Structure formats: C-alpha cells, structure tokens
Amino acid sequence: MSEYTIDELNDLDETSFVDVLGEVYETSPWVAERSWSDRPFESLEALHESMRNAVEEAPRAKRLELLRAHPDLGDRTEMTDASEAEQASAGLDSLSPDQYETFQRLNETYRERFGFPFIMAVKNESPDAIQAAMEDRIENTEEVEFRTALDQVHRIARLRLEDLLA
C-alpha cells in the first residue's frame, strides 16, 4: 500500500479518494464514498470515525453485506492483498493439514450459525489464539456476534488506515 498524509487524502477528488480508501473496509467502497463529504479530516482518528459512522449508519442489510465481503480465515481462496497480508502475519497461510481442517470446520459451523464469516483482526495473532476465539465466539447469540464482528471490522479498518497513512 502506498503511504499518504492526511492532507494528501483531503486533497483527493472523490474518485481518487474512493480508489485509495475503497478497500479499507473489505471490498466495500461505499464506506469511503460516504465519508468523502466529511473532509477535511484533521487526523487518522477523524477519518476512521467518519468511516466507522458510515458503516454504523447504514441499514442492517448493508452492514451484513460488509460482513459477508470478508474471507474465511485460513482459507486458501483469492482475497484482497490486505487480507492476504494480515492472514500471513498470523501464520494462517502456513497451517498444518490438521489446523487447516479445523479452521475449515469452524468456519463452516460459524457461517451456518451466523450467516457471515468469522471476522477477527488477526494481524500478528497466532493460529492458536484465533482458533480459541473462534471456538469461544461460536457460542455467542446472533445479536452479540453481529456486533462483535462489526467491531472487529472497524479494528481491521483502523489497522489498514495506520498502514496507509504516513
């Protein structure tokens, strides 16, 4: 990812702004589109808060679509560069066959129970810690897990913004 200053982001036209920030919230450029009009941002925190508010103010169906845009953890399918790097930092790209099978089983169970993939800010976490979180959170109610997943999406976005801003 290229690095930008907050002033450079503030100076971008809407199309460029969305091009740069459209993947911060996993394949959901609508979040950046809705935040553009809040410029100028004074800080990374202000930008993140604007993007967070865009998500939180969206209808539930749109937020569910955002959750469903995330890849399964430990899956070996195509994903965004950011997701790939985050999962690699957690060792999810080099799971043993047994770990891979466990993650696939947990992903399937979780997705069947909640209707969206398990989402966790995994940057620099261990496979064991991620697996433990999956096992714990699979017991949540749908309402609690929807909120938890959205909070994790916001955390992922914050980390991506920190990587993007110089």
Collapsed DSSP state (helix, strand, coil) of residue 20: helix
Contact assessment for residue 107 and residue 99, using Cβ atoms and an 8 Å cutoff: no
Contact assessment for residue 10 and residue 40, using Cβ atoms and an 8 Å cutoff: yes
Q: Given 3-state DSSP classes, what are the helix, strand and coil percentages for the chain, each rounded to the nearest 5?
A: 65, 0, 35
Amino acid at 138: I
CA quadruple 39, 41, 44, 47: dihedral positive or negative?
Answer: negative
Residues designated as active site: 70
Collapsed DSSP state (helix, strand, coil) of residue 165: strand
Give how far Cα 57 sits from Cα of 1, 17, 23, 31, 43, Å: 28, 20, 19, 10, 21
